[in-house]
């Protein structure tokens, strides 16, 4: 397993006072304070260290997680289900073809059924409003496993990964290159809350929305964070300590594929672009990767890639989320 808890034990995130998150929903990173995000990260680091040391932590004996999937999943399903198993609990996979949520049964009715049976709900959906509605009608915590607006679980795992490899989140230049999508949105919110220096390189028409930038920059005024958007990928990665990319075409955007394939090639993370970053920069991708499109094999499989550390940390970050929302 990548990372060593002792290497970042003294980092600012790990020194944060514990915040009580019992009963909370995780819908968007923007809903949390810096102290709350640091609490999640500290717990993620601790749980990973325990797992590495072989220390059992069956914290959720008798607890059940309902997993709602409108979209296919490898990392989300495996990490949430494995996490519940390691905690001594149980996870139920509710695929969309079984539930037909929104057609066979309304979202509010699904929420009001599930909260009679399970202790926590995770939903991986198309429309962000779906997870908002689940949280509004369920009396148990609801976790956004991905929506068209945000991907908070991914970003918490990413923050954990950056801390492992760089020892901190602040005083680093983080560059995101590619589509201003749900991952970008959550990363922008995290940067504003935690005081990160984030540079987004995206083509015109695919940049983060004004409302996301305005909210994050307002949060950044109290954290000394900086969020800059560039139309030039080289400007975004120049001197960067971290380079992050994602797919150019996300699920549900297949009709836009031809146009996106025309616009995005200059934003490919390849050896030439990486040369503009710091020599020890790390490269991130939330996966699945389309090799040869947004990232090349030489970079993804190269010594600066931490892509699979990110994937592993989905397990640990989400276990932290589950434990804290359920108050253990």
DSSP labels, 113-143: HHTTT-SEEEEE-SSHHHHHHHHHH-SS-EE
List the catalytic residue out of 166, 246, 285, 318: 246
List the catalytic residue out of 24, 42, 43, 124: 124
- Is 124 a catalytic site residue? yes
- Is 197 a catalytic site residue? no
List the catalytic residue out of 86, 199, 219, 286: 286
- Is 268 a catalytic site residue? no
Which residues fall within 8 angstroms of residue 256, CB to CB, at 6 or more apart? 249
List the catalytic residue out of 25, 42, 43, 154: 154
Contact 207, 274 (CB under 8 A): no
- Is 246 a catalytic site residue? yes
For residue 240, give both structure tokens.
């960067």
List the catalytic residue out of 151, 166, 260, 285: 151
**Cα separation, 219 vs 228, whole angstroms:** 14
Output phi, psi for 76, to 5 deg.
-65, -45
Chain centre distance of CA 324: 17
Reference 187, options 224, 220, 141; nearest CA is 220
**Cα separation, 172 vs 177, whole angstroms:** 16
DSSP labels, 243-277: EEE--SS-TT-GGGHHHHHHHSGGG-B-HHHHTTS
Residue at token pair 């836009």 = 256
- Is 78 a catalytic site residue? no
DSSP labels, 69-102: ESS--SHHHHHHHHHHHHTT-EEEEEEHHHH-BT
**Cα separation, 23 vs 185, whole angstroms:** 24
Which residues fall within 8 angstroms of residue 204, CB to CB, at 6 or more apart? 231
> What's the chain's length in residues?
328
- Is 304 a catalytic site residue? no
List the catalytic residue out of 42, 199, 314, 316: 314
Catalytic residues: 124, 151, 154, 246, 286, 314
């Amino acid at each position: 397993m990548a990372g060593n808890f002792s290497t970042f034990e003294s980092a600012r995130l790990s020194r944060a006072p514990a915040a009580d998150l019992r009963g909370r929903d995780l819908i968007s990173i923007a809903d949390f304070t810096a102290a709350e995000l640091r609490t999640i990260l500290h717990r993620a680091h601790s749980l990973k260290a325990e797992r590495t040391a072989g220390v059992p932590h069956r914290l959720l004996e008798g607890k059940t997680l309902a997993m709602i999937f409108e979209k296919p999943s490898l990392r989300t399903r495996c990490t949430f289900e494995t996490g519940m198993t390691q905690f001594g609990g149980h996870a139920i996979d509710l695929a969309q073809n079984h539930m037909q949520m929104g057609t066979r049964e309304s979202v509010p009715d699904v929420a009001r059924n599930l909260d009679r049976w399970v202790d926590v709900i995770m939903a991986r959906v198309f429309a962000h409003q779906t997870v908002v509605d689940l949280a509004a009608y369920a009396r148990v915590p609801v976790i956004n496993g991905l929506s068209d607006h945000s991907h908070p679980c991914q970003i918490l795992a990413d923050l954990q990964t950056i801390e492992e490899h760089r020892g901190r989140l602040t005083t680093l230049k983080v560059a995101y290159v590619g589509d201003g999508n749900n991952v970008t949105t959550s990363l922008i919110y995290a940067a504003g809350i935690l005081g990160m220096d984030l540079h987004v390189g995206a083509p015109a028409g695919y940049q983060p929305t004004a409302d996301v930038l305005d909210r994050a920059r307002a949060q950044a005024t109290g954290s000394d964070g900086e969020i800059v958007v560039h139309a030039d990928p080289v400007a975004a990665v120049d001197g960067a300590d971290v380079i992050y990319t994602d797919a150019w075409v996300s699920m549900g955007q297949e009709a836009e594929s031809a146009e996106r394939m025309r616009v995005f090639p200059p934003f490919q993370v390849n050896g030439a672009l990486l040369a503009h970053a710091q020599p020890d920069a790390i490269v991130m991708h939330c996966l699945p990767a389309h090799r040869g499109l947004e990232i090349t094999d030489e970079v993804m499989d190269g010594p600066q890639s931490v892509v699979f550390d990110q994937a592993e940390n989905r397990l640990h970050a989400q276990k932290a989320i589950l434990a804290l929302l359920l108050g253990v």
